[in-house]
A and B are shown apart, each in its own frame.
Chain A
Amino acid sequence: MLVHTLKRNKLAIFIGLFPALVIYLGIAIIPIGLSFYYSIMDWNGIGDMKVVGMDNYIRILSDDTFWLSVQNNVMIMITGLIGQLPLGLIMALLLNKGLRGSGFFRTVGFMPVVISSVMVSLIWGMVYNTEYGMLNGILSFLGLDSWRQNWLGDAKWSMLSISVAYIWQNCGLYMVIFLAALQNIPEEVNEAAELDGATGWRRTIHVTIPMLRNTIMVAVVYSISNSFRVFDLIQVLTGGGPAHQTEVMTIYMYNSAFMNLRYGYGSAVSILILLFSLVVISVINRLGREKDA
């Protein structure tokens, strides 16, 4: 491309890539390796580091609180999948019909995605407030006083309450992902379907949705990997309480490392999170591909 001498190019390429690479490798990539390294150590951050091999992993895997957090992650994953995706898909299908006011609904639908998780948590914290919260207020207004709950403090409801806030926050993202895919379906496909007599619901189910297969797969994978990353929302809403009932793996990791100052143990948890999410995603990918065949 450029006709400079090779040597000058090499130097320039090096100068151009070096600063970005140093920051990127030093802070985003090398620490993953360090996490592996710390995960076989026992260290409180001050004293000497002690090699303990697989001890941290063994202790984590025999801790009931950890398994409770795994269970809560599964809960978030499943409610996310069955809440966000169908809702986002239906919204996208409706918005794709060219109805009047679609722009408004899209704007409002995507709004929670732009707001920070902290803000979303704080707003929902007020909605769920036992005494003065919006939800209990509405229930009282409807004469359903017996339905009032301590939404975040009662272990029966707390994970479900968090899931609702989580769906509220992310649904709009899937809506626009599906909408973009719908708008990419060539007009001829719809016309051909119409000639074959496929209209309305039939066309949506037999023609449109199969066309979205790939996008749906991407959304499923993204939704799953996102569910393993949940932290802010729960940390701010409940901090993992009451009594670990809403703890997810990231919170468990945060508490081990930064509350109990067990950096080795915490690192091992972070590696396990990485492992779990990779396993789940590769299983999903395989299932998706098998169906293709």
Chain B
Amino acid sequence: MKKKSPLFQIFAYTFLSLFAIMNIIPIFWMVVNSFKEEQEYAADPFSFPETLNFSNYSKAWDIANMDTYFLNSLIITFVSLIVTVLLGALAAYFLARFTFRLRGFIYGLFLLGMLVPIHATLIPIFLIMQKMSLIDTYLSLILPYTAFHLSLTVFILEGFMRGFPKDLEESGVMDGAGIFRIFWSIILPITRPAMATVVILNFIYNWNEYLFALVLITSNSLKTLPLGLANFVGVETASYTLQMSALTIALIPILIFYLLLQKQLVTGMTAGAVKG
């Protein structure tokens, strides 16, 4: 790499820093204020807190039902994720490793889903769930989350599985293993890198989802984290510091998740966007 002119460096770092500050400041400001007393915040939203006041956090955790929301989000996110990845991997296996009539058609059908905007299906899904008395159940979210993420899951896994050498399954066949046995013990283990991407993507999309939850969940005890938070902030308008604490609590796990798995998240979400 040849040396950059100092003028360019000054310009580049100024621009990059401004951008970074824009991205960090709102969050930083929120976290700092979440430690303040309400009066302290009202008096000066820009000072640092006099003492680190953790009582906001325990109060927010209780009042906002954060434990319920976290638990609901965890259950719904993970069940959807497991179902999506298992069914998606199985479908991808047959699409990638077998030749049969309709293969191209079914593959195309799965890809179509990446173009479908969720809101175009929202009302019928609500009515279907209502008819099946599934409104206000975990299942009412697990089904759409699974259905809408199968496309990307199949797309990524199929692409990966197709790259394996053709004679891969032969040793399995020689040992007398059946088709599903070969899937489980030969194909699935070597698909792990792509599975990791798919799992991470499904996790983040399910964890952050709001529209379906808004329409399909009504009772407080079943709300997911985004829905519960939006609700809490709408109700608890009197105390900003309490809102900020609740938001910070919800933000921390996702930031840790991001920092740990940054590489997969960035490549996965980019691929998801470009292909979608």
Binding site for B on A (CB under 8 A): 1-4, 8-10, 12-13, 16-17, 19-21, 23-32, 34-35, 38, 45, 87, 90-91, 94-95, 97-99, 101, 104-119, 121-127, 129, 132-134, 137, 141, 168, 172-173, 176-177, 180, 200, 218, 222, 225, 228-229, 231-232, 235-236, 250, 253-254, 257-258, 263, 266-267, 270-271, 273-274, 277
Contacts and interface: CB of A to CB of B under 8 A. Distances in A.
Contact of B179 (A9, A27, A101): A9
Q: Is the interface of A mostly helix, strand, loop or mixed?
A: helix
Contacts of A125: 233
A126 B45 CA distance: 11
B276 interface: yes
Contacts of B82: none
A121 B26 CA distance: 11
Contacts of A173: 269-270, 273
Q: Is the interface of B mostly helix, strand, loop or mixed?
A: helix
Given A23-B147, A117-B210, A122 B243 contact: yes
A17 to B, nearest CB: 5
Contacts of A38: 123-124, 127
A133 B20 CA distance: 20
Contacts of B90: 16-17, 19-20
Contact of B247 (A110, A112, A122, A177): A122
Nearest to A271: B120
Contacts of B12: 94, 97, 99
Given A35-B123, A115-B254, A134-B25, 10 more contacts: A17-B90, A21-B109, A32-B124, A99-B9, A118-B208, A124-B26, A126-B243, A168-B22, A231-B211, A274-B117
Contacts of B24: 108
Contact of A2 (B20, B169, B229): B169
Contacts, number: 271
Contact of A116 (B1, B144, B208): B208
Given A16-B93, A118-B230, A173-B270, A132 B23 contact: no
Given A97-B12, A108-B20, A27 B125 contact: yes
Interface in B163-201: 166, 169, 173, 178-180, 182-183
Contacts of A257: 122-123, 126
B270 A1 contact: no
Contacts of A13: 94, 98, 100
B122 A270 contact: yes
Given A9-B100, A20-B90, A134-B26, A28 B121 contact: yes
Contacts of A32: 116, 120-121, 124
B interface bracket (residues with beta carbon within 8 Å of A): 35 or more
B240 A129 contact: yes
A36 to B, nearest CB: 10
B104 to A, nearest CB: 13
B123 A23 contact: no
A176 B272 CA distance: 12
B270 to A, nearest CB: 5
Contacts of A116: 207-210, 226, 254
B235 interface: no
A38 B127 CA distance: 11
A102 B197 CA distance: 23
Contacts of B151: 24, 28
A27 B144 contact: yes
Contacts of B116: 28-29, 32
